[in-house]
Amino acid sequence: MALAIKENNQLYITSFEEFEKNINGEAKNWLKDLRRQALTRFDELGFPTTRHEEWKYTNISPIAKENFIHGTESDAGLVQKDAVKKFDYDGLDAHTLVFVDGHFNADLSLIGDLPEGVKVKSLAEAFQTDTDLLEQHLARYAPFQDDSFTALSTAFMNDGAYIYLPENAVIEKPIHLLFLASDRNEPFITYPRNLIIAGKHSKATIIETYAGTSDNRYFTNCVTEVFCDENAYIEHFKVQEESSNAYHISTTQVNQLANSNFVSNALDFGGLIVRNNPGAILNGEGVESTLNGLYLGTGRQLIDNHTTIDHAKPHCNSHELYKGVLDGSARGVFNGKIFVRLDAQKTDAKQTNQALLLSNTATIDTKPQLEIFADDVKCTHGATIGQLDQDAMFYLQTRGIERDMARDILTYAFASDIIDRITIKELRDYCHHRVLVKLQQDRLEGIDKE
Amino acid sequence: MLEIKNLHVEVEGTEILKGVNLNIKAGEVHAIMGPNGSGKSTLAQVISGRDVYDVTNGEISYLGKDLLDMEPDERAREGVFMAFQYPVEIPGVTNSYFLKTGLNEIRKHHGLETLDAADFLKFIKEKAKLLDIEPDMLNRSVNEGFSGGEKKRNEILQMAVLEPKLAIMDETDSGLDIDALRIVADGVNRLRNEDRAIIIVTHYQRLLNYIVPDYIHILLNGKIVKSGDKQLAFELEEKGYDQIKADYSSIKTKLEETV
């Protein structure tokens, strides 16, 4: 088997030419060059196979072989208002940007008032208005040289969210970026691309939600880049609720300068094949970085989280807690990379990942990967894989609680470790409910199969 | 209330209980005593429905129903309760949620209205006070980080909340200091009434100073070899299990000789 699948490259090249023609004249030279470089790199890389070390447990050949439709126009008619309502977290008061099939939709969005100097808008608009900042930051943090999907994202980047917080800006309400996939007959691909620039001492909470509105097959290939300047504090949530037949591949890459704090919570419920690459570079002293995640896989879902924490400077702390619940024939992958560079003395890095397998056919592949070049550091990692504690099951039952309910209580308790850390009440309630519904749904499906 | 006939139980092919007979009526307190490995905890676990034990022969009837045919949660809803020798820690589930869920499941089963959070809190706080349980313990995860004494008191609290018809105390006295023992015993005594039967499984006579049983049974090597009133405990204290064992084996030999 080859390292790469290239049989579909022509589709992407043709689609790119079409894409470039449509936006011709609009793009500045640097952007045009960047897109072209990325496309060329993709053409060289092709799609990875499981021979590729980074993709050993995740076979994306269904993605590589699918003839995805490119260049879907924004069509709000395809998405009803109630679809937006379904993911508005019980009317959470937020600055909301809605995207349909990767395109910003002003009618469905409600950005509201923002503090002076703060910019929250579509990337498509920012290409017109904020060229200098884009040139300075866009595609600087998520490298595409070794990653086919980031290369594609960079080649096709055109829309998504653009958030700019000037020095000292504090946004009280969360910013919600809702990416909805419409109900189309043919498989299609979208490339949401987000850029968050957080100035010195700025503070914001950002929620990214990716959701399907049907059972369709489509592919969300998204990249979010975050730049945290000194003392910036960004709290980030990513809720993945794609359709049960959708593919979702995401990269979230953060560059943190001194004393900044980035906290991420990734919540994966949907999708058929899901791969997330959250990563942070701790690029100044005194940085705090947290990557937490919860994933619930059922049926034939595959959910892969490849995290990277790169300690580049001394005196930084990183915290990582990933928890997975896998039922049915679902598969999970966790790969946690931690680099501690030569310069990064007094690093304190902690990584924990735990998986709970609820069925005999669910599987998890888990691998911590620590590369430490400094000698005065503290790095801990722990991985546990388990099934429901039978003693606890029995204990609950002897107190009058039925087996199914006992199972839900224990599974929920396992997941609550992450859910309880969600600082936004509405989102926490949503996740709480979502976990229980998903568990019950799965059990009902299990009964049907029997 | 509880009738055990010729109960044989195996674990992974090893016979632990070898024909136990026991008859317990409402209002009675029975103590089952025996040395380590005699099968007394197995008996408690089989009554509560632990599925690692294979019942190879015999029957257990509870309030006229076939107990062995019921799931552990059904038994609980019908009023069977076991205080665990080793209470299980359940991280992420608060003690009060755990208690409320169990209670409400049982209430639903009996056609009673479920208690909401506020009513339950009031109800539980009173019960907790009687057992010298800090309110804080209700908000902590079930048994997580509890001391040995706290765990045992928590078991008694659960019993007080669930108000079972048949309560089995599996070595509830183990690992308790004298003050904790007294609190636990008080809790049990408070629940003693004519409708409720209590089985106390213990190695030592000590607990029986505080909870005075109506009957004592001595379990040796999977069989009840001697039954009597509370005097038996003193006899046991005096002679020790070895003497009882020796007595028993000589009787057994004689019996075998006559056969």
Q: Check whether residue A438 and residue A320 sit in a common domain.
A: no
Count of beta carbons in the 10 Å neighbourhood of residue B6: 12
pLDDT in tens, chain A (450 residues): 678 899 999 999 999 999 988 886 667 889 999 999 999 999 999 999 999 999 999 999 999 999 999 876 656 566 777 889 999 999 999 999 999 999 999 999 999 999 999 999 999 999 999 999 999 999 999 999 999 999 999 999 999 999 999 999 999 999 999 999 998 888 999 999 999 999 999 999 999 999 999 898 999 999 999 999 999 999 999 999 999 999 999 999 999 999 999 999 999 999 999 999 999 999 999 999 999 999 999 999 999 999 999 999 999 999 999 999 999 999 999 999 999 999 999 999 999 999 999 999 999 999 999 999 999 999 999 999 999 999 999 999 999 999 999 999 999 999 998 999 999 999 999 998 998 888 777 666 654 443
Question: Token pair of B30, please?
Answer: 């029975």
pLDDT at A122: 97
pLDDT at B129: 85
> B 84-103 residues with CB below 8 A of A?
84, 87-93, 98-99, 101-103
Q: Check whether residue A187 and residue A278 sit in a common domain.
A: yes
Tokens 């509890």 appear where?
B146
Q: Check whether residue A100 and residue A235 sit in a common domain.
A: yes
Chain centre to alpha carbon of residue B225:
20
Which helix (DSSP H) or strand (DSSP E) does residue A11 occupy? helix A9-22
Q: Check whether residue A336 and residue A422 sit in a common domain.
A: no
Q: Check whether residue A279 and residue A306 sit in a common domain.
A: yes
pLDDT at A279: 97
C-alpha span between A141 and A280 (Å, rounded): 9
Report yes or no: A288 and A71 within 8 Å, Cβ to Cβ: no
Question: Token pair of A118, please?
Answer: 């703060």
- Tell me which of B50, B77, B89, B90 to substitute to probe the interface with A (most A C-beta atoms closer than 10 Å): B90
Report yes or no: B154 and B146 within 8 Å, Cβ to Cβ: yes
C-alpha span between A49 and B54 (Å, rounded): 50
Q: Check whether residue A395 and residue A315 sit in a common domain.
A: no
> Which chain A residues have a beta carbon less than 8 Å from that of B103?
400
A253 vs B184, residue with greater confidence: A253
Q: Say whether residue A402 is in contact with chain B using an 8 A CB cutoff.
A: yes
Q: Check whether residue A195 and residue A170 sit in a common domain.
A: yes
Percent of chain B at pLDDT > 70 equals 96
ipTM value: 0.93
- Tell me which of A354, A394, A412 to substitute to probe the interface with B (most B C-beta atoms closer than 10 Å): A394
Q: Say whether residue B76 is in contact with chain A using an 8 A CB cutoff.
A: yes
The C-alpha R_g of chain A, in whole angstroms, comes to 21
Task: For chain A, give the number of residues.
Answer: 450
CB contact under 8 Å between B91 and A413, yes or no, is yes
* Residue closest to A358 by CA, chosen among A315, A335, A333, A390: A390
Of the CATH numbers 1.20.1440.230, 3.50.50.60, 3.90.1260.10, 3.40.50.300, which one belongs to the domain with range B2-258? 3.40.50.300
Task: For chain B, give the number of residues.
Answer: 259
**Which of A340, A356, A388 is where one domain is finished?**
A388
CB contact under 8 Å between B90 and A396, yes or no, is yes
Beta bridge partners of A340: A311, A372
> Which chain B residues have a beta carbon less than 8 Å from that of A400?
73, 76-77, 102-103, 105-106, 109, 162
Question: Token pair of A149, please?
Answer: 């999907």
pLDDT at A282: 98
**Which of A388, A423, A442 is where one domain is finished?**
A388
- Tell me which of B70, B71, B88 to substitute to probe the interface with A (most A C-beta atoms closer than 10 Å): B88
Q: Which residue of A has its CA nearest to B82?
A: A398
B109, B141, B158: residue with CB nearest A399: B158
Report yes or no: B17 and B221 within 8 Å, Cβ to Cβ: no
B73, B93, B106: residue with CB nearest A397: B73
Q: Check whether residue A380 and residue A399 sit in a common domain.
A: no
Q: Check whether residue A208 and residue A332 sit in a common domain.
A: yes
**Which of A363, A388, A413 is where one domain is finished?**
A388
Residue A360 phi/psi, 5-degree rounding, is -75, -15
CB contact under 8 Å between A395 and B88, yes or no, is yes
Strands B166-170 and B80-83: parallel
> Which chain B residues have a beta carbon less than 8 Å from that of A414?
92
Q: Which residue of B has its CA nearest to A388?
A: B90
C-alpha span between B57 and A7 (Å, rounded): 67
DSSP state of B67: G
Chain centre to alpha carbon of residue A100:
17
Q: Check whether residue A88 and residue A229 sit in a common domain.
A: yes
Q: Say whether residue A384 is in contact with chain B using an 8 A CB cutoff.
A: no
A401, A409, A416: residue with CB nearest B73: A401
For residue B188, is pLDDT > 80?
Answer: yes
Domain count, chain A: 2
Residues 6 or more apart whose Cβ sits within 8 Å of residue B29: B192, B197, B198, B199, B200, B211, B212, B213, B214, B215
Q: Which residue of A has its CA nearest to B164?
A: A399
CB contact under 8 Å between B101 and A409, yes or no, is yes
pLDDT at A442: 67
Q: Say whether residue B26 is in contact with chain A using an 8 A CB cutoff.
A: no
Domain that holds residue A401: 389-450
> Which chain B residues have a beta carbon less than 8 Å from that of A384?
none
Report yes or no: A239 and A265 within 8 Å, Cβ to Cβ: no
| Average pLDDT of the segment spanning B185-196 | 91
Q: Say whether residue B132 is in contact with chain A using an 8 A CB cutoff.
A: no
Report yes or no: B217 and B22 within 8 Å, Cβ to Cβ: yes
CB contact under 8 Å between B73 and A409, yes or no, is no
The band of B241, judged by pLDDT with boundaries at 50, 70 and 90, is confident
CA distance A249 to chain B (A): 31
Question: Token pair of A76, please?
Answer: 């709000």
> B 38-67 residues with CB below 8 A of A?
48-51
For residue B98, is pLDDT > 80?
Answer: yes
